[in-house]
Structure 1
Amino acid sequence: MTHVITPFALFLFAMAGAAQSETRLPVFGTWDCEIMNFTLDAETYTVSGKPGQVKRIEAIADDAYGVELTDSYRFGLFDVTAQTLIWHSPASGDTFECRRVGAG
Structure 2
Amino acid sequence: MIWSTASSSNGRTTSCGYPLLATIAAAIALVTSASAEDLPFVGTWDCEISTFVFTPETYDTGSDVLDILEAQEGTDGSYTLFFADDYIITLSGFTGDAMGWYSPASGDSFACARLAD
- Shorter-chain TM range is 0.7 to 0.9
Q: Where does structure 2 lack aligned partners over 5 or more consecutive residues?
A: 1-31
Q: Which amino acid aligns with 2:52?
A: F
Q: Are 1:31 and 2:31 counterparts?
A: no
Of structures 1 and 2, the one with the larger relative CO (CA 8 A, separation 6+) is: 1
Task: Tell me which of 78, 99, 109 is aligned to 1:85.
Answer: 99
Q: Determine if the alignment matches structure 1 residue 52 to structure 2 residue 66.
A: yes
3-state SS, counterpart of residue 107 of structure 2: coil
What is the alpha-carbon distance in structure 2 between the residues aligned to residue 48 and residue 35 of structure 1? 10
- Equivalent residue pairs, number: 83
Structure 1 unmatched runs, 5+: 1-20
Name the CA distance, whole Å, in 1 between partners of 2:75 and 2:116. 25
- Give TM-score scaled by structure 2 length: 0.65
**Which of structures 1 and 2 has the bigger CA Rg?**
2
Secondary structure at the aligned position of 1:61 is classed as coil
More helix per residue: 1 or 2?
2
For residue 74 of structure 2, give the secondary structure of its aligned residue in structure 1.
strand
Please say if 1:63 is aligned against 2:77.
yes
